[in-house]
Amino acid sequence: MSSKRNFLLYMIGRFISYIGTGIQQIALPLYILDITHSGIMMGVFSILNLVPNLITLPFAGMLGDRKNRRNIMVATDLGRGIIICLLGTLALTGNINIYILFIAQIFISIMDSIFGGSSTALLPELVSEESLMKATSTRGGLDAASMIVGPALGGIIYGLLGIKAVFYLNAASFIISGILSFLIIYENKINDKGKITLKSFFNENLETLTFIKGNKGIMQLFGYAMMTNLLLTPSFDIVLPYIMKKGIGFSSQQFGYLMSIFTLGVLVGNVVLGLGAKKAKTKNIMNLSFIMESVMLFGFSIVIFPKQVSLLGGHSWTLFIVIALICVTIGGFNAGVNTPISTNLQKMVPNEMRARFFSLIGMIAQGAVPLGSIMYGVLLDRFHYYNIFMIVTILNTVITLIFIFKAVPEVYEPKVQVILEN
């Protein structure tokens, strides 16, 4: 009973917090644009959101493997809530400016990384091994739902009530999340290793890298996730908007609808996965999702070629519906890939190393995005967008097929690591 209660508190808190974050993520760039009329300032804000997070992640992982993870979540939730509440008060009194926003965002970004490492590492401690797949799919589904609800509310609330309401709502979401996390009954199983020093920083992160290198199953999952992330994430961030708006001619609103439809697919995929987690074999789920995601990416690559666009009426609702169906299907099968991989990694990594491991993954994954963005930006200036996306799809499919045929059994049915091997 206590495990169900703890999981419920964890999920409700996370969901509320993510909705608040989604509201602010949409409203804040609009506000910065309104007060500065500068795209450069929006870019600076984006950098201040990413870079402190990246720098902090290795330290955040060490903290999550040394201290009480629940208490870290509570502290960072309340810390972010207080900072954003202060921003709301400054906005209310007319004393806010762009520099205050930038400074606040640095601290929020740092706390985001600290919260993320401990939150990810805590989940396997709250549920049984048998329930971990269902728990992970539930988390993925609610995260997807928050990414639909939060941004939609963000545009509405900012338009009707202004930035003050956005700040206060987001602050309230963090404070409520912190209170719910505090109510989790949690027995800390982490041994405090004392202060973080430069020596311990290098030694413990090197220990994590050595562990990854020494485990073939983790190396395969880690390698696949990193390579596909480098290929696909920046292509969706850079190439896809270019395709939709400049290539096909869809409006910004239609592009927003398509992104929401993709997220809806992720939500549905996680719901289906959660309902059938105990009935289907993980290997069958993953391989089917790998193949279908690749097939649908090929379908999308073909549809965006100029001849097919012309046959389907250009930027018509007919083409929009075809692409929407592809997007929702890709989203659904994407959940069938990402959720089992995340679940299996949680099982394969020892509890005392889990925060460091997932923080390291996050650092590499996020660090790959700017690199990929620059690469795709250069390619778009030299080659046709439809050729670029087709090549990306082919490369992703080759990587996926190699993974399927070379995967060791532990990739699909991992053994739980309880004690860190010396």
Give the tokens for residue 295.
């097939």
pLDDT at residue number 420: 43
Classify the phi-psi angles of 417: left when phi > 0, otherwise alpha if psi is within -120 to 50, otherwise beta. beta
Query: In order of start, what are the domains of the chain with their CATH numbers?
Result: 1-187 (1.20.1250.20), 204-422 (1.20.1250.20)
Q: What are the b/e assignments for 301-314, b being 16+ CB within 10 Å?
A: bebbbeeebeebee
Distance CA 33, CA 299 (A): 37
What's the mean pLDDT when you consider all of the chain?
A: 86
For residue range 44-65, what is the model confidence (pLDDT) as tens digits? 887 788 888 888 988 899 888 8
Q: What are the b/e assignments for 337-374, b being 16+ CB within 10 Å?
A: bbbbbbbbbbbbbebbbbbbbbbbbbbbebebbeebbe
Note the helical H segments in 383-422.
385-406
Which residue do the tokens 């059938």 mark? Answer: 276
Query: pTM here?
Result: 0.83
Distance CA 306, CA 314 (A): 9
Residue type, 295: V
Give the tokens for residue 284.
């069958």
Q: Which helix (H) or strand (E) holds 323?
A: helix 317-348
For the cut 50, the answer to whether the pLDDT of residue 352 exceeds it is yes
For residue range 251-273, what is the model confidence (pLDDT) as tens digits? 877 887 888 898 899 999 998 88
The helices-and-strands tally (H runs, E runs) of the chain is: 15, 0
pLDDT at residue number 421: 42
pLDDT at residue number 278: 66
Distance CA 105, CA 63 (A): 21
Which whole number is the average pLDDT over 318-331? Answer: 94
Note the helical H segments in 183-215.
198-214
pLDDT at residue number 192: 67
Distance CA 60, CA 366 (A): 15
Residues near 9 by beta carbon (within 8 Å), at least 6 away in sequence: 180, 181, 183, 184
Percentage of the chain with pLDDT > 90? 31
Reduced to 3 states (helix: H, G, I; strand: E, B; else coil), residue 217 is helix
Which whole number is the average pLDDT over 288-317? Answer: 91
Residues near 387 by beta carbon (within 8 Å), at least 6 away in sequence: none
Give the tokens for residue 359.
């923080």
**Higher model confidence: residue 414 or residue 182?**
182
pLDDT at residue number 419: 43
Which whole number is the average pLDDT over 387-412? Answer: 90
Percentage of the chain with pLDDT > 70? 95
Which residue do the tokens 């994590």 mark? Answer: 208
Among 88, 93, 99, CA closest to 36: 99
Q: If you ran DSSP here, which 8-state letter would residue 190 be given?
A: P
Q: If you ran DSSP here, which 8-state letter would residue 411 be given?
A: G
DSSP assignment of 342-392: HHHHHHHS-GGGHHHHHHHHHHHHHHHHHHHHHHHHHHHHHS-HHHHHHHH
For residue range 142-171, what is the model confidence (pLDDT) as tens digits? 988 888 888 878 888 888 888 999 999 999
Alpha carbon separation from 322 to 261, 268, 397 (Å, rounded): 12, 18, 22
pLDDT at residue number 258: 85
pLDDT at residue number 38: 74
Which whole number is the average pLDDT over 335-356? Answer: 88
Which whole number is the average pLDDT over 349-359? Answer: 88
